[in-house]
Amino acid sequence: MSRGITLAKGTKLGQRICPKCKETIKVDASLCKHCGTEFTPEEISLAKADAKKGAKYGGIGCLLLVLALGTCTYIAGKGEPAPEVPDRPTASAKADAIAFYRGIMQVIGPCDRAGAGVAEASKAGDLVNLFSAANEMETACLKTPSGIREVKVPVSVGKASFDKLTKTREVCENAYVQKWSAAKKMKAALDSDGKISALAELKEAASLVQTGTIVCATGLVGEIMALGAKSEDLDAD
């Protein structure tokens, strides 16, 4: 039996609520980035069907607001109005962008350090230690995606950079969902006595992690430096 797929107030178009942890996720998500719940193709199809209904009735509600108030503002998250972003960067854009970058780095630090621990254990060749390191990585990376999402993109950077950084933040969020998932799959592979399917899943997960983290890092650094930051600004503690 399928789990209930929930669309709720406070979600944007294309979003739904995870039935397990009640956090907002994409309608077509196959994996909840907050709690790790996996969804079947049937559940995703149901969610998409519900989303179409929600978009229809949401549009009607918006039209009613326009008729009554002369305006309609879509909500950009948990009860928060969409931020007003200036067309051009303001005087504080560079400093705010650097602070945003450092905020992301602070969030991903524990997960990355745990990943380095897995790499060291892998070189040593001790499977017991490697399993323990993968377990630590799974724990360290569990809340990283939601932590990334909570780092606010500064509006002072101007509309173009705001949109780019918002998209890059989402890329980073998804990359660290994959990193957490890879730790789980590594544990499963180590515990499978060399089962080919488990090793294949781990290989695919590792490839996704590598690609995602590279795009995340290059996207962040490129846009922050485009706003005037230097490499030493990003390297500073």
Q: Which residues of the chain have pLDDT under 50?
A: 1-2, 4-10, 54-79
Question: How confident is the model at residue 164, as a pLDDT?
Answer: 95
Residue 43 makes CB contacts below 8 A (sequence gap 6+) with 2, 3, 5
Instruction: Give 185-227 pLDDT, tens digit per residue.
Output: 888 888 887 778 777 777 777 777 788 889 999 999 999 999 9
Domain boundaries, the chain: 1-82, 93-235
Rg of the Cα atoms in the chain: 20
> Which residues lie below 8 Å from residue 131, measured CB to CB, with a gap of 6+?
187, 190, 191
Residue 99, pLDDT score: 96
The pTM assigned to this predicted structure is 0.65
Distance (Å) of CA 37 to CA 19, 25, 30 = 9, 11, 8
Q: SS3 of 25, please?
A: strand
Q: What is the pLDDT of residues 97-116, one digit of tens each?
A: 999 999 999 999 999 999 88
